[in-house]
Structures are given as structure tokens and as C-alpha cells.
A and B are shown apart, each in its own frame.
Chain A
Amino acid sequence: MQNTEIIVKPNDTETCELGRQVELIRQQQEREFQIGVYVSWAVLFFFLILAFSGLKIDLFGFEIKTIALDIGFITRSGPNIAEGIVVTIILSTASIALACLLALMGALGRLSRFPPAYATSTFYISLVRGTPLLLQIFFLFFALPQIGIRLGPMTAGILALGLNYGAYMAEIFRAGIQSVDIGQQEAAYALGMTRNQMMHRIVFPQALRLILPPIGNQFIAMQKDSALVSTVGFVHEILWRAEKHGRRDARHLEALLVAAAFYWILTIIFSVFQSKIEDRLSKGVRE
């Protein structure tokens, strides 16, 4: 073979062809990675199921006992525990809505140069972040009635979770608002917009794009933290029901596993939903 043949300068169509091949290979590698991940998940899931299958496995002469579950209990109590899913969803959704509202006000207070607004915001954030969520829940359920304030169980639960998450999320909102380039504000002002118009029309829409993923993350966490409200005994969400059934039949293992499964499924469904939203948002940015 002659040397000259190797030193061919690729013309445009050839580079295009090479580019397509590179892209195809990259896609193929990506697919293989995905398949590998799915298979590994399936294997891990299989072992998890196996661990609770009750089977006796003979492994090279060693007998391995797996955990046996009371299937009868699960089929009897499962549907009733499942009814708690609706309560959990309502509780966590209403709480995150309240938290968003408080977080927005908290963030605006943190960014304000008006001392009372700034102080109110930092005071709220400090107080809530400085005390345990469980204490706050107990306070709303048990301490308030002592001074004559009786809230409905759902109201108290939503207030406790919303107040708590609002304080943490205020920092997320603040960071989102601050990350919008200052030039956007200046342009709005130069065009004669008021501060309210500038925030509402220019800053918030751009900040929202940045804070939606972390808000989703907080919502996922909230779905599980809502279980803390079960400890006071008045909100009949997933964990409360599981505990009740588990105690009655002395089947805590089964009851908690059923509850865990429900929480996990909820989280997985919302995570898929969230990653779809994030894909959409990131496309908008690249466009």
C-alpha cells in the first residue's frame, strides 16, 4: 500500500460521514450503558424480593434461610394501608404549596433592604431551622390546644410541614432570584418598569426555571417526611395505618414493608415526572 493514500485530506462529505459514525457509536454506547443499568437494577431488585421470599436456598452445601412473610396479613391489611396513599399525597402536596408561598416571602424578605422585612424573614428562617421538625409537629398538635388553639389534624400537619420546609426552601428561592443576571433588572428599570413589574415579569420567570428542580427534590423529601405526622396519631396516612395494622396482628415486619413499598413507588413515579420536567427545562435553555 502506498503512503500517499493515507494522507488524504477528508473533504466535507467525508468529515460528515465520520461525524455520523462517531455519533452512532456514542448513541450505541449510551444504549449499552442504559441496558447495563436496567439489568443491574433488576438483579438488585431480584435479591431484595428473594430475601423476603421465605425460600430455603442450598448454596454449595450451605443452607441459606430467607425471611418468610405472612402473605395473608398483607392481602388483608394492604388495601387499608393503601388508602393512606391519598392522605399522604394530599398532605405533602398541600404542605409543599404552603412551603413555596412562605419560601417566596422569606426570600423576598432576605433580599429586602427594609429592616423589619429582612428581620422577619431571617427570624422565621432561624427559628424554624433551629428546632427539630418533630418538635414543631408536636407543638402544633399538643402545645397549641393547651392555650385553646385547636387545629384539625390535617390543618396542623400541613401547617407544621409547610412552615418547616418554607424556611429551608426560602434559601433555594433566594439563590434562584439572585442568580438572574443583574443586567436583566437594569434593562427592565431602564425601560421604565417598576420594581414589582420587574420582579413579576422578568426575574421570577427566569428564577423559576432554576429552582424547579430543587423544589421537586424538596417535594420528594416531603412525601417521606409527611410520615412524621403519623406520630401524633390523628392523621391517617400510610405509616400511621401500617403501624396500626402491624401492632394489632403483631406483623410489624410485613406492615412496614408494605408501607415502604408504597412510599418508594410514590417517589419513583414522581422522580420520573421530575426528570421529564427537567429535560423540558434544559431544552428551553439550550434553545
Chain B
Amino acid sequence: MTQPIQPSSMVEVVDLEKFFGTLQAVKQASFTVDIAEVVCVIGRSGSGKSTLLRCLNFLEQPHHGSIQIDGVRVMARPDGRVDPAQIHALRLKTGMVFQSFNLFAHRTVLENVIGAPIIVKKMMIAEATDLGLQLLEKVGLTDKKDQYPSRLSGGQQQRVAIARALAMQPKVMLFDEPTSALDPELIAEVLGVMRQLVEEGMTMIIVTHEMDFARNFADRVIFMDQGHLVEAGSPTQIFDQPQDARTRQFLYALDHQN
């Protein structure tokens, strides 16, 4: 509470730890994200990067450490008994995009986008609809507004999911492997929308396997291995001069996949 918050840091994570039973998924993770900074988290499957991201909005309960986003600071507790109001406040600061889209199957595209503003923020339907149409135009799906999600391609669904998260006007966007469930030819359209957000100055934390995107658009890249934040730095530092042996090993394996 007393710790001063640097004005430039949008996200501040201190000593975060997360266990699944006795398995430790996230180990003493500390990092900050500045306003308008784009951070990509890379690492092997099972390295804890998705868990770390999901701890930021308490979809996973961290057991130790603290998370501060845009002035809202929440302390983790080992028993998980964190005040729901605090978690709610944290979630209002963040928008999340999932690997499997998770669009509401019983709602149309537009309803998916405007649902949360109406239900959570008590926004007027007309106002929400305006906002929703604006966001759908941004992701290029105005013509699909009355379709149900199951009629859309994966790429289209993910673009709707991004619009849905943006509709709550979050301060930080969290992306959890947003392109991993997509057919290769659909990845570009989703990355295109994300690139647009980068250009608009959105603060973003992206867990991804898209190394080209990380190299070209991230301000900072964090490499995770077995729950540890092993190394962080500019894309050039991480991809071209990795310091840690584990980072080098990971990048070497990536290069020799194809």
C-alpha cells in the first residue's frame, strides 16, 4: 500500500508465485510494464507463461506476491481469499484474449461485443451498440455483426474476441497465445489487428509463439522457463544476443524445427 507507484509503469508485478498442488508453475516473477509498452512472453509449452498471464487478472489465483495495474494493487494470499471487489477492479483494468476465443456461443457477434458494457458497466444499449459497431469496424467485421460465432472462421472469431475485450476500455490487453489455435492462413488477420493496437499505443502483454511478431512489434521480450523469468530485454537482445544458456537452447531448437 505504502510503496510508491512509478507514474510510468502501468503494470507492476512483484514476487508472484503460483502452485498447482505441489508443482510450482510461476516462481518469484517480478516485472513492470510501462504505459504503451508491448511485452511478449515466450518460452516452451508448460513453462508457466500462460499461467503467469492468467494470474494477472486472477483467472488463476496466485499464492504469493502482488499485482498492480493502473493504480489498483492486489496482494495474493496463499488461501486464495482475496476480496472479490479487488479482483473485480483488476479485471476492469484488463482485457483478455484467449487461445480458444471463448466467444459466447448463444450470442451474435454484436451481442458478444456489447454484452459486458451493458451488463457490467450498465451502459445504455444505444451507446453500447455505437461503441460495438465502431469496434467491429476496427476489426473489419461489421458485416458479420448478426452472425453467431459458430458461423465464423477462427480468425474472425478471434478478431471479435479482441473487439469484445476492447469494448470494456481496458488499460492493458492480455493475449494468451491468440494465434495458436488458428489455421496458418488465418494468423495474419489477427496479427494485423494486434499490430493496429500496438500503433495506437495500447499497453499489451502477449504470450505467443509468433517469434516474428515478437521481434517486430515487442518493446521487450521475456523468456520463461520452468516457471522462472529467465531473461528479459529488447527483441534484439533476446533473439540475437541471448545471455542465458536456456534462452539460447530454446531459440536454437526453434531455428532447427523447420
Query: Which A residues contact B (CB, under 8 angstroms)?
Result: 181, 183-184, 186-194, 197, 201-202, 205-206, 209, 285-287
Contact with A187, one of B88, B103, B151 (Cβ below 8 angstroms) = B103
Question: How many residues in B have their beta carbons less than 8 Å from beta carbons of A?
Answer: 28
Q: Are B106 and A187 in contact (CB under 8 A)?
A: no
Max chain B C-beta neighbours (<10 A), residue from A183, A189, A190? A190
Q: In chain B between 84 and 139, which residues have their CB closer than 8 angstroms to a CB of chain A?
A: 84, 88, 91-92, 94-96, 98, 100-106, 115-116, 119-120
Contact with B120, one of A187, A191, A202, A285 (Cβ below 8 angstroms) = A191
Contact with A184, one of B59, B102, B151, B161 (Cβ below 8 angstroms) = B102
Q: Are B115 and A189 in contact (CB under 8 A)?
A: no
Contact with B119, one of A193, A205, A285 (Cβ below 8 angstroms) = A193
Q: Is the interface of A mostly helix, strand, loop or mixed?
A: helix
Give CA–CA (A186, B103) in the complex, Å. 10
A residues in contact with B103, CB < 8 Å: 187
Give CA–CA (A194, B88) in the complex, Å. 8
- Tell me the nearest residue of chain B to A180, going by C-beta: B105
A residues in contact with B119, CB < 8 Å: 193, 197, 201
Give CA–CA (A186, B104) in the complex, Å. 11
B residues in contact with A181, CB < 8 Å: 102, 105
Query: Which B residues contact A (CB, under 8 angstroms)?
Result: 57, 59, 84, 88, 91-92, 94-96, 98, 100-106, 115-116, 119-120, 148, 150-151, 161, 164-165, 168
Q: Are A190 and B105 in contact (CB under 8 A)?
A: no
Q: Are B57 and A190 in contact (CB under 8 A)?
A: yes
B residues in contact with A209, CB < 8 Å: 106
A residues in contact with B91, CB < 8 Å: 189-192
Give CA–CA (A189, B120) in the complex, Å. 10
Q: Are B120 and A197 in contact (CB under 8 A)?
A: yes
Q: Are A184 and B104 in contact (CB under 8 A)?
A: yes
- Tell me the nearest residue of chain A to B93, going by C-beta: A192
Give CA–CA (A189, B119) in the complex, Å. 12
Q: Are A186 and B168 in contact (CB under 8 A)?
A: no
- Tell me the nearest residue of chain B to A205, going by C-beta: B106
A residues in contact with B100, CB < 8 Å: 183
